[in-house]
Chains A and B, each alone.
Chain A
Amino acid sequence: MLEGLPPAQGSDATETQYENAGRLGGKLGRFLLSSEFGLLLLVVLAFAGFWLSTRGFSSPFNQFGLSRSAAVNILISLSMMSVIVSGGLDLSIGAIGVCASILAGWLMEACRWPAPASVAVGLALGGLLGFANGQIIVRTGMHSFVVTLATMSVFFGGMIILTTAKPFDSLPDDFSLPAQQHLFGAVSPLLVYSVLIACMMAYLYRLTAIGRDMLAVGANARAALLSGISASRAVTLCHAMAGILAAVAGVMLSMRNGAAIPSMAGNLGQDWLLPAFLGPVLGGASLSGGRVSVLGAVLGAVLISVINNGLLLLHVGAFWLQFFLGMLLLGAVMIDKARMRVFASGDRR
């Protein structure tokens, strides 16, 4: 197309040069230097530390519990991450998760619906509420912080009004079955589901056009718009996806409890917020958007679960746990900031 351009060069040479960069050796080397690898080391270290120092941590019973809470934490982290991609955030994921599981619970208990159909409708509600968040943000141009702060109260409040805060606790047995089963004696199938979902997310960002759109819009919405990418569609999809993932987390939680309880994620679903941000940020996602790591978010969520579980076994108070996780989030955010500064100085050179 462009042959004979002024100082034309052998184009083959350049092409191979470009392609070589992505080869395996380089990839392994880069992984060893990445924040994911550092995080993996931290997870192994924390795991080994608690395994050796804490009585009960290594028991199959405890490992089973750990795998179940890791499954939920992974989904909560991925839910928030799918919005962080777009440069926004979603404070309402806890409320959405609870709303979805309450709807599923109501369908099973009051309407006698079979579990699979009820869960499907619950997940659809999660997607719908997330979609609503996205549409409000795109149409009004307001920041997702304000919008989701409002919808968090609207969703949760609406749910309390409709249910009068009554839990649904006589759910069919086949609904809670996945939370009771053991794989290899100590692993919950829920964790397998979460890892499968994480693989789908990695696939989305790496190998689909819409995933690339989301990253581009998050990194620089104006540049993406001028490149013919629909920014509003990408942002709406990010929020809808967050809603579905939050709904899955909510349903898993009620499987574990054997009941759909309005307060299971705290008032307004706020108990989810700390792990929701901590997972992706530890995993190397940029809060300004455009850079995420699914593996990092998964590892971050696992680290949170291990620390949570280990510290509780050590009988430190729950307040200390909150304190510690809060400090961890501050530290992770500062590391992110420092990394940005290194990038910025690289630009100036």
Chain B
Amino acid sequence: MSPALDLSEITKSFPGVKALRGVSLRLDPGSIHALLGENGAGKSTLIKIITGAQSPEGGEICVSGKPVCFANPLQAIEAGIGVVHQERNLIPRFSVGENILLDRIASASLRPINYSAVHDEATHWLRLLELDIDPRRLVSELNVATAQMIEIARALSQQSRILLMDEPTASLTLSETQALFRMLRRLRDQGVAILFVSHKLEEILELCDAVTVLRDGGNACLSRPLAGMSRSDIVSLMIGRAEPIPDLGRNQRTDLPVTLSLASVATLGGHRDIDLDLRSGEIVGLYGLVGAGRSELARAIIGLDRITHGEIRIDGAPVSIGSPREALHRFGIGYVSEDRKQEGVILSHGVLANVGSTVWSRLRGWFGFLRDATVIRLVAPVLSALEVKASSLDQLVENLSGGNQQKVSLAKWLAAGTRVLIVDEPTVGIDVKTKAYFHQLLHKLAREGRAVLVISSDMPELITLSDRIAVMDHYRLVGKFENSGDYGEMSHAIMAYIHAAPPTASLKSQNSAANAAAT
């Protein structure tokens, strides 16, 4: 029997990065196959290639033994690959039936829609999934879990024999997850091949038959049967590393003054019981999976989200920070956004106008008078120290390289003389050499007396930089510990905290449902 989906030696590179360097995967009909990997291991690129959103540069994709080549997602669907994405992809104001059969309704442009036929067929697919839902109901009336089931029904109605589920349980409660698993097992028994992408190891051990683990764009294991494997076997596969972690030295002093401190902070966005101390002269690394609430915490600190409980203290005194303006000018807190192009810099403005933006209001004279020379006197030394490579101070930032853009984004906080620096994903999209430079720079900035909080999904980076590590999951801090600098030990510790996080199911799902509704 030929595999339902067979990927061999898939390669794909992006400017400066080799995202996939020969990845293989073999998915059999009637099985549930787990796809695992850390952030940046190449998982999302592989998913995009399977679903036709991107084309591979090398390697072969076979569906039921026949080689295929997808130019767009529609061709992948026609080849029988159904996808249920992490976010819901339904039209809320259409009925369940309309959503399930949307592609066929949309393709018959002028013919009137035969609603009784649509609803009859939709009922057929809903029955198959043992769902008792009236196809005339509006999707907006359903909860998140049911909406996800509707998407599975839609995938099946497209004659999919391969079902790709991307983080399907991210927004489900425990009982909803169990219902989903029952349905997936039933589909498996009917011969559907399911590729299950998840971060949650317990779920994978419970549900899946085989596993493929990606690491640094390659296979850490290829479609290995899960029977007999333990949690720690999988974790080792995910994080085993070849490159050594550079040793920048760690600061384990506990007598340093605490600059910024969060005391049982809760936010409108959903954080609960956040306790965190940031000492002058140290780097605290905040790790978490995407969506764990790390950037959201940073935003709450600088006044972009409301603190509903607990307090923020600066130098021991409780403060209330109402806006980034106050955070910067009254308390010396700077936030380097992870979204460099949208929030970190102003692409259409020059280097000087970007770096100066944090100091204008401090440097202005009578009636707001402010000369370029005044700004340059303050900004030029910082730019030289960071070795920003620009043809002139007026060169537009959009014409700089990614690394230089990030230097500009950081330089404005150094020019402003901030005491607390929150750096979100400091080296995302930056080449290896510049990355090492940034690590040394951040290290140096902390040793000069700043309190630095680094948010990163890049575990090696975090272990390179941090003096202490805090782990966040579902808007809570689930672990805090000293960094020993030993990659194996630390990465296991981090993963243990994330996967051992207590299932705060009901509350969590309400939050994520609220988030989904808001977006």
Residues of A within 8 A of B (CB): 1-9, 11, 14-15, 17-22, 207-213, 215-216, 219-220, 222-230, 286, 290-291, 343-344, 346-347
How many Å from the CB of B334 to the closest CB on chain A? 8
Q: How far is the CA of A229 from the CA of B323 in the complex (A)?
A: 9
At the interface, is chain A mostly helix, strand, loop or mixed?
A: helix
Residues of A within 8 A of B347 (CB): 219-220, 347
Residues of B within 8 A of A (CB): 302, 323-325, 327-329, 335, 337, 342-349, 353, 356-358, 360-361, 363-364, 367-372, 376, 380-387, 390-394, 396, 398-399, 412, 414, 416, 437, 440-441, 444, 448
Instruction: List the A residue with the shortest CB-CB distance to B336.
Output: A226
B346 x A219 contact (CB < 8 A): yes
Question: Max chain A CB contacts within 10 Å: which of B348, B382, B387?
Answer: B348
Instruction: List the B residue with the shortest CB-CB distance to A17.
Output: B392
Q: How far is the CA of A343 from the CA of B370 in the complex (A)?
A: 28
B346 x A207 contact (CB < 8 A): no
A2 x B382 contact (CB < 8 A): yes
Residues of B within 8 A of A19 (CB): 376, 380, 393
Q: How far is the CA of A290 from the CA of B347 in the complex (A)?
A: 10
How many Å from the CB of B311 to the closest CB on chain A? 22
How many Å from the CB of A263 to the closest CB on chain B? 39
Return the contact of B448 from the options A1, A9, A209, A286 (Cβ within 8 A): A1
Residues of A within 8 A of B369 (CB): 207-208
B381 x A227 contact (CB < 8 A): no
How many Å from the CB of A15 to the closest CB on chain B? 5
B363 x A14 contact (CB < 8 A): no
Residues of A within 8 A of B360 (CB): 209, 212-213, 229
A290 x B348 contact (CB < 8 A): yes
Instruction: List the A residue with the shortest CB-CB distance to B416.
Output: A228
Q: How far is the CA of A21 from the CA of B396 in the complex (A)?
A: 13
A229 x B325 contact (CB < 8 A): yes
Asked whether A290 and B325 contact (CB < 8 A) given A212-B357, A223-B342, A226-B335, the answer is no
Instruction: List the B residue with the shortest CB-CB distance to A12.
Output: B384
Residues of B within 8 A of A224 (CB): 346, 357
A226 x B448 contact (CB < 8 A): no
Return the contact of A15 from the options B380, B399, B444 (Cβ within 8 A): B380
How many Å from the CB of A31 to the closest CB on chain B? 14
How many Å from the CB of A213 to the closest CB on chain B? 7
How many Å from the CB of A35 to the closest CB on chain B? 15
How many Å from the CB of A101 to the closest CB on chain B? 28
B381 x A1 contact (CB < 8 A): yes
Asked whether A216 and B358 contact (CB < 8 A) given A2-B382, A15-B381, the answer is no
B380 x A216 contact (CB < 8 A): no
B329 x A216 contact (CB < 8 A): no
B383 x A21 contact (CB < 8 A): no
How many Å from the CB of B378 to the closest CB on chain A? 11
Q: Would you list the 4 A-B pairs with minimal beta carbon distance, nearest first?
A: A21-B392, A228-B328, A2-B385, A209-B364
Return the contact of B370 from the options A9, A17, A207, A226 (Cβ within 8 A): A207
Residues of B within 8 A of A223 (CB): 337, 342-346, 357
Q: How far is the CA of A278 from the CA of B370 in the complex (A)?
A: 30
A343 x B368 contact (CB < 8 A): no
Question: Max chain B CB contacts within 10 Å: which of A17, A212, A224?
Answer: A212
Residues of A within 8 A of B383 (CB): 14, 18
Residues of A within 8 A of B323 (CB): 225, 230
A216-B357, A226-B343 are known; give 11 further A-B pairs, CB within 8 A. A6-B441, A7-B437, A17-B392, A208-B367, A209-B361, A212-B353, A215-B349, A223-B343, A223-B345, A224-B346, A228-B416
Question: Max chain A CB contacts within 10 Å: which of B346, B347, B441?
Answer: B346
A347 x B399 contact (CB < 8 A): yes
A227 x B357 contact (CB < 8 A): yes
Q: How far is the CA of A50 from the CA of B68 in the complex (A)?
A: 68
9 A-B pairs (CB sep. < 8 Å): A1-B448, A5-B440, A8-B385, A15-B380, A18-B384, A213-B360, A230-B325, A343-B398, A347-B399
Q: How far is the CA of A208 from the CA of B360 in the complex (A)?
A: 9
B346 x A216 contact (CB < 8 A): yes
Return the contact of A226 from the options B337, B353, B361, B444 (Cβ within 8 A): B337
B444 x A2 contact (CB < 8 A): yes
Q: How far is the CA of A18 from the CA of B396 in the complex (A)?
A: 13
Residues of A within 8 A of B448 (CB): 1-2
Residues of B within 8 A of A7 (CB): 387, 437
Residues of B within 8 A of A3 (CB): 385
B393 x A215 contact (CB < 8 A): no
Residues of A within 8 A of B357 (CB): 212, 216, 223-224, 227-229
Residues of B within 8 A of A9 (CB): 384, 387
B394 x A21 contact (CB < 8 A): yes
Residues of B within 8 A of A291 (CB): 348
Asked whether A227 and B385 contact (CB < 8 A) given A6-B441, A216-B353, the answer is no
Residues of B within 8 A of A216 (CB): 346, 349, 353, 357
Instruction: List the A residue with the shortest CB-CB distance to B328.
Output: A228
Q: How far is the CA of A4 from the CA of B376 in the complex (A)?
A: 21
Instruction: List the A residue with the shortest CB-CB distance to B417.
Output: A1
Q: How far is the CA of A4 from the CA of B447 in the complex (A)?
A: 12
Instruction: List the A residue with the shortest CB-CB distance to B349.
Output: A219
Asked whether A227 and B358 contact (CB < 8 A) given A1-B448, A208-B364, A212-B370, the answer is yes
Q: How far is the CA of A213 from the CA of B349 in the complex (A)?
A: 12
Question: Max chain B CB contacts within 10 Å: which of A9, A14, A215, A343?
Answer: A14
B393 x A219 contact (CB < 8 A): no
How many Å from the CB of A9 to the closest CB on chain B? 6
A222 x B399 contact (CB < 8 A): no
Instruction: List the A residue with the shortest CB-CB distance to B385.
Output: A2
Q: How far is the CA of A229 from the CA of B399 in the complex (A)?
A: 24
Instruction: List the A residue with the shortest CB-CB distance to B391.
Output: A21
Residues of A within 8 A of B349 (CB): 215-216, 219, 290
Instruction: List the A residue with the shortest CB-CB distance to B302.
Output: A226
Q: How far is the CA of A276 from the CA of B324 in the complex (A)?
A: 35
Residues of B within 8 A of A343 (CB): 348, 396, 398
How many Å from the CB of B416 to the closest CB on chain A? 8
How many Å from the CB of B505 to the closest CB on chain A? 34
Instruction: List the A residue with the shortest CB-CB distance to B360.
Output: A209
B325 x A22 contact (CB < 8 A): no
A11 x B384 contact (CB < 8 A): yes
B363 x A209 contact (CB < 8 A): yes
B368 x A209 contact (CB < 8 A): yes
Residues of A within 8 A of B361 (CB): 209, 213, 228-229
Instruction: List the A residue with the shortest CB-CB distance to B387.
Output: A9
Return the contact of B414 from the options A1, A209, A227 (Cβ within 8 A): A1
Q: How far is the CA of A6 from the CA of B444 in the complex (A)?
A: 9
Return the contact of B393 from the options A1, A22, A209, A290 (Cβ within 8 A): A22
Asked whether A21 and B353 contact (CB < 8 A) given A5-B385, A15-B380, the answer is no
